[in-house]
Amino acid sequence: MEYTNKIKKTIKSLEQISRTKGVDLNQEINSLEKKLSKVQPEKYTEWQEQKKGHTPWERVKIARTLERPKPQDYIEYLIKDFIPLHGDRLGHDDNAILGGIGYLKDIPVTAISTRRGKELRGNMDANFGMPHPEGYRKALRLARQAEKFKRPVIFFVDTPGAYCGIGAEERGISEAIARNLFELSDLNVPTFTVITGEGGSGGALALSVSNKLYMMENSILSVISPEGCASILFKDASKAEQAAESLKLTAYDLFELGIVDEIQKEAEDFDTNPQPTLEELEKMLYNDIFHYSFMDEQKMKNQRYNKYRSIGFFETDKNQLPEKILNGASGNGKASGGEAGTGFLKELARLLGLK
């Protein structure tokens, strides 16, 4: 894991600077160690093994199989006394989204899922799991309702993406997705998402802004379908298998990238006998919901914000910090105007983004 190594290297360098130059860098070191601790080594080694079980392309195909338990099945298994609630209160009810209230064991929750059929008819009824703008607005309405009654929200997501068509554009599919990201990121109750099959791009994202993101072992989450990626970037739709590899869309890959928090392993006979696997998932969800329910509201919201805020990979002067400081180099001439100072401490502060 290159990312982990990079962090480790930076920590080492910072410690060295701290010692040799007598500067207090504990805060920076702590924050990096926190980042590192997110990558649990035992789990990582175990999952490294399991990752080899299938190629990414195989997992794409498994995620899409018709026989696989559908997101609404998760609600049926996991949410007791479930009462479906309809409509966006703006004039529509999107069948591609199922939402309602019930219990996870003994905790009242709001559960929202995409719907996908196991045969053609059911699939057509649910628009193949592709929500229209109204579906996202319905989800947001239910999330707001959950907020009012202090219920945690659980999303179960399996969608190829938001619906792509004239009506969806006319009724503001972009705005609906953007609005969900905006509002859900700030919801006053904890949110949890399980990707059960396909996590198709922005359409899945708008239902997965959560304190914790879980993926089923053979689910995928991707910015674009491997087929789409192959035809656009590789100019050859038949290279989907290669694209699936390159996109790093499996649960294991995304865990390594710090995007997914937990992976639920699937039993061999998951398709025909989902109960044991879903019981494990229930236990994990229950523990987390319990934990988050007792968390201070602002702390809970900060955790969610910081989680998304920290996703991204780039080079900054910060990463180049060790060599620079050790070599005694001063600014690289690209400092943002007005904020660069002179002298070692100011330079360090600037490089660390402390201003």
Query: Could you tell me the sign of the dihedral formed by the alpha carbons of 164, 170, 175, 180, in that order?
Result: negative
Binding of residue 257 to other proteins (CB under 8 A): yes
Q: Which is nearer to other proteins, 101 or 300 (CB)?
A: 300
Q: Which is nearer to other proteins, 107 or 335 (CB)?
A: 335
Binding of residue 248 to other proteins (CB under 8 A): yes
CA–CA dist 151, 103 (Å, integer): 10
Binding of residue 159 to other proteins (CB under 8 A): no
CA–CA dist 156, 154 (Å, integer): 7
- The H-or-E segment that residue 322 falls in is helix 321-326
Binding of residue 354 to other proteins (CB under 8 A): no
Contact between residue 168 and residue 134 where contact means Cβ atoms under 8 Å apart: no
- 84 forms bridges with which residues in the sheet? 100
Taking CB under 8 A as the rule, which mask of x and - marks residues 311-330 in contact with other proteins?
A: xxxxxxxx------------
CA–CA dist 241, 244 (Å, integer): 5
Helix (H, G, I), strand (E, B) or coil at 206: coil
Q: Return the axis-axis angle of helices 275-293 and 71-78, rounded to nearest 10°.
A: 70
Binder of other proteins out of 3, 44, 77, 82 (CB under 8 A): 3
Q: Which is nearer to other proteins, 50 or 174 (CB)?
A: 174
CA–CA dist 325, 341 (Å, integer): 14
Binding of residue 249 to other proteins (CB under 8 A): yes
CA–CA dist 53, 35 (Å, integer): 28
Binding of residue 224 to other proteins (CB under 8 A): yes
Q: Which is nearer to other proteins, 336 or 342 (CB)?
A: 336
- Taking CB under 8 A as the criterion, which residues in 161-190 touch other proteins? 162, 164-166, 168-175, 177-179, 181-183, 185-186
List of residues contacting other proteins (CB under 8 A): 3, 162, 164-166, 168-175, 177-179, 181-183, 185-186, 201-202, 205-206, 209, 221-224, 229, 232-234, 242, 246-249, 254, 257, 259, 304-305, 308-309, 311-318, 334-338
